[in-house]
């Protein structure tokens, strides 16, 4: 067979070669959608959540590498990775627009098939929040029935967040940071600290001197902002489809999601904007 664009033959014999489908393991990916009802729209529900988990896997891949570079005080490679994370987050934000085409009447026809399964149980979403510094040991309880998974998430709970790494970088650049911020129990939720606020104020008031830290700060604000947009779109989609019903996993649904909107992952990077 000839290629219509350049008259070169197209390779068609893959008896001994890897194909596109082989490389991507499409047989496994595309055979993983199993509806538990006969309802047409359950396929939409499954694929949206599966695709979201794939994007979350890439977010964790990028954040882990970015954190490593920041801990090494090698900030520039982390900028590209954090920029990529914010683009991925945009894909996740837009996915709620697709899911919102599911009407309340349609969802209720297969909701009972979900049993107690819920997005609250997404271990990758939980690890992303841990990576951003929002730690919650109680959230591990839903993974206790899977020891290997529980160990994985527990490990993420006990690691420095990417924001803890950024605070260390502030110190490595000679900015005074309280010792409690540099050596603490990383499994605890991060709390705003005055020394960190003052350090970021110094960075923003002396951009030329601290350009790399300034760039890091803005990349972190990007991903924090996108995560809030994702949370908001999540909340609005849930309210649009189920109103104020409880979630399938037992959460308070919209009320739970609304409370999460009050949390800032990198609080000082937002508070300094009022002080500048």
Domain contains 16: no
Q: Is 88 annotated as a binding residue?
A: no
Domain contains 270: yes
Domain contains 33: no
d(CA 259, CA 261): 5
Q: Is 25 annotated as a binding residue?
A: no
pTM, whole model, 2 decimals? 0.92
Domain contains 206: yes
Number of domains in the chain: 1
| Residue-level pLDDT at 125 | 95
203: helix, coil or strand? helix
| Residue-level pLDDT at 260 | 77
Domain contains 268: yes
Q: What are phi and psi of 2, to 5 degrees?
A: -95, 145
Q: What is the DSSP string of 69-118?
A: HHHTT--HHHHHHHHHHHHHHHHHHHHHHHHTTS-HHHHHTTGGGGTT--
Structural domain for 222, as ranges: 40-97+120-274
Q: Is 107 annotated as a binding residue?
A: yes
In this prediction, residue 116 has a pLDDT band, given cuts at 50, 70 and 90, of confident
Whole-number Cα distances in Å, 127 to 69, 149, 154, 211: 19, 11, 9, 30
Packing angle of the helix pair 42-71, 162-172 (nearest 10 deg): 20
Q: Is 47 annotated as a binding residue?
A: yes
Q: What is the mean pLDDT of residues 223-251?
A: 85
Domain contains 250: yes
Domain contains 11: no
Q: Is 204 annotated as a binding residue?
A: no
Q: Is 234 annotated as a binding residue?
A: yes
Q: Is 49 annotated as a binding residue?
A: yes
d(CA 197, CA 195): 5
CATH number, domain with residue 193:
1.20.58.480
In this prediction, residue 213 has a pLDDT band, given cuts at 50, 70 and 90, of very high
Q: In the chain, pLDDT over 90 holds for what percent of residues? A: 79
* Cα separation of the two ends of the chain: 65
Domain contains 189: yes
């Amino acid at each position: 067979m000839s290629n219509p664009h350049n008259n070169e033959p197209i390779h068609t014999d893959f008896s001994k070669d890897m194909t596109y489908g082989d490389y991507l393991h499409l047989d496994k990916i595309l055979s993983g959608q199993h509806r538990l009802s006969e309802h047409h729209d359950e396929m939409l529900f499954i694929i949206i959540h599966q695709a979201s988990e794939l994007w979350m896997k890439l977010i964790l891949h990028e954040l882990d590498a970015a954190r490593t570079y920041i801990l090494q005080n090698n900030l520039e490679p982390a900028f590209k990775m954090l920029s990529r994370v914010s683009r991925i987050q945009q894909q996740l934000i837009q996915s709620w627009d697709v899911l919102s085409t599911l009407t309340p009447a349609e969802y209720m026809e297969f909701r009972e098939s979900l049993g107690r399964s819920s997005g609250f149980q997404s271990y990758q979403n939980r690890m992303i929040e841990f990576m951003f510094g929002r730690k919650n040991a109680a959230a591990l309880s839903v993974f206790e029935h899977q020891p290997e998974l529980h160990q994985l998430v527990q490990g993420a709970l006990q690691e420095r967040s990417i924001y803890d790494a950024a605070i260390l970088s502030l110190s490595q650049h000679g900015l005074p940071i309280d010792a409690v911020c540099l050596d603490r129990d990383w499994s605890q939720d991060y709390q705003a600290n005055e020394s960190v606020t003052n350090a970021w104020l110094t960075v923003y008031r002396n951009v030329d001197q601290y350009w790399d830290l300034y760039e890091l700060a803005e990349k972190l604000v990007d991903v924090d902002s996108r995560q809030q947009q994702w949370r908001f779109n999540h909340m609005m989609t849930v309210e649009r489809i189920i109103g104020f019903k409880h979630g399938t996993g037992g959460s308070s649904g919209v009320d739970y999601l609304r409370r999460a909107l009050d949390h800032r992952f990198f609080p000082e990077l937002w508070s300094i904007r009022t002080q500048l």
